[in-house]
Amino acid sequence: MKKSRRVMRRAILSALYSHLQDAYGLEIAEESFVQAQMSIQDIDALLAFKSDPRLDELRSALDRLERGTFGQCLACKGSIDQDLLEADPTQRFCSSCERFYSQAMARELHLSVSSVQ
Ligand SMILES: [Zn+2]
């Protein structure tokens, strides 16, 4: 778990970097950004005043990593598949909860659409 924590931190920082690069044009190289021993406070300072949902997601993924709840499904508290986390470190649900909630959401949307008509 210790090793994968480091790997995931890297993955999150790297996603954070590419997003910042795309949206705000960073002046520093990716390696120095990812390798820098930035604390949550440093990252907060960097992200201050940027209201951007993707940044918020990545920020809270880092937060979960610090608090040791990273990789835990928000709904059932089970563990989220490593594959899912590697594909998207901001994943907050395990695959079965994800499926359940997206279906529930689809039903809800369908209901509200049909009640409007
Ligand atoms: Zn779950």
Token reading at 59: 């920020």
- Give the domain range for residue 7: 1-70
Per the structure, how many domains does the chain have? 2
Q: Do 10 and 54 belong to one domain?
A: yes
Model pTM score: 0.73
Q: Do 10 and 59 belong to one domain?
A: yes
Q: Do 11 and 64 belong to one domain?
A: yes
**For residues 99 and 106, is the Cβ–Cβ distance under 8 A?**
no
Compute, in angstroms, the gap from residue 51 CA to the centroid of ligand 1. 28
Distance CA 66, CA 69 (A): 8
Q: Do 61 and 76 belong to one domain?
A: no
Compute, in angstroms, the gap from residue 8 CA to the centroid of ligand 1. 19
Tell which wins on pLDDT, 102 or 110: 102
Q: What is the pLDDT of residue 117?
A: 53
Q: Do 2 and 24 belong to one domain?
A: yes
Distance CA 61, CA 53 (A): 12
Compute, in angstroms, the gap from residue 93 CA to the centroid of ligand 1. 5
**For residues 38 and 22, is the Cβ–Cβ distance under 8 A?**
no
Q: Do 49 and 83 belong to one domain?
A: no
Average pLDDT (45-66) is 88
Q: Which residues of 23-45 are buried (b: 16+ CB within 10 A; e: fewer)?
A: eeebeeeeeebbeeebeeeebee
